[in-house]
Amino acid sequence: MSDAPRVFNRRTLVTRAVHVVAGAGALALSAAPARATPDMMSEAIRKLVGGAKVNEGRVTLDIPPLVENGNTVPLTVAVESPMTEKDYVAEIHIFNEKNPQPYLVAAYIGPRAGKAEFATRVKLNDSQHIIAIARMSDGSFWSDGADVIVTIAACVEISEQ
């Protein structure tokens, strides 16, 4: 359809997404640490936003403060926005400090969403800080962060059973 939302041109979507992922991947390789570090997270965020300011607010990252199992941690991100053709949330990116790679997931939304909210489940290696950043249609960035404590499961498999 000709009047598909502008950000939803597939080419822009994919190139942008690949850029974020490749940036993070290259970092993981060059530094070759077992896990990401807060520095790597900042670097991955810088790759996304360039020199732009990341404002606090408008974004709500809902993630349990204490999770029972780091293998499946539910999270929801909601962004305040009128979600009109002119003023909408284009992208949401979620970063972490301590997994092997600093990014968790990115979602490309656009005005057709009506409501800028999405949920997924991630694996978290350890207790850490998580940051969600939204890129608005006007190019501004907004964010929210949350600390998560990951408890260790009891009675787990010690060998293939």
The residues binding ligand HEC (CB under 6 A) are: 153-155
Site for another protein in 47-66 (CB under 8 A): 64, 66
Report the Cα–Cα distance between both ends of the chain, in Å, rounded. Answer: 53
Site for another protein in 106-145 (CB under 8 A): 106-110, 112-124
89 binds another protein (CB under 8 A): no
For another protein, which residue of 22, 52, 147, 151 counts as binding (CB under 8 A)? Answer: 151
For another protein, which residue of 74, 80, 82, 87 counts as binding (CB under 8 A)? Answer: 74
Residue 32 interacting partner from another protein, ligand HEC, none (CB closer than 5 to 8 Å by kind): none
57: left (phi over 0), alpha (psi -120 to 50) or beta: left
User: Do 11 and 4 form a contact (C-beta atoms < 8 A)?
Assistant: no
Pairing of strands 54-56, 141-150: parallel
Strand partners of residue 25: none
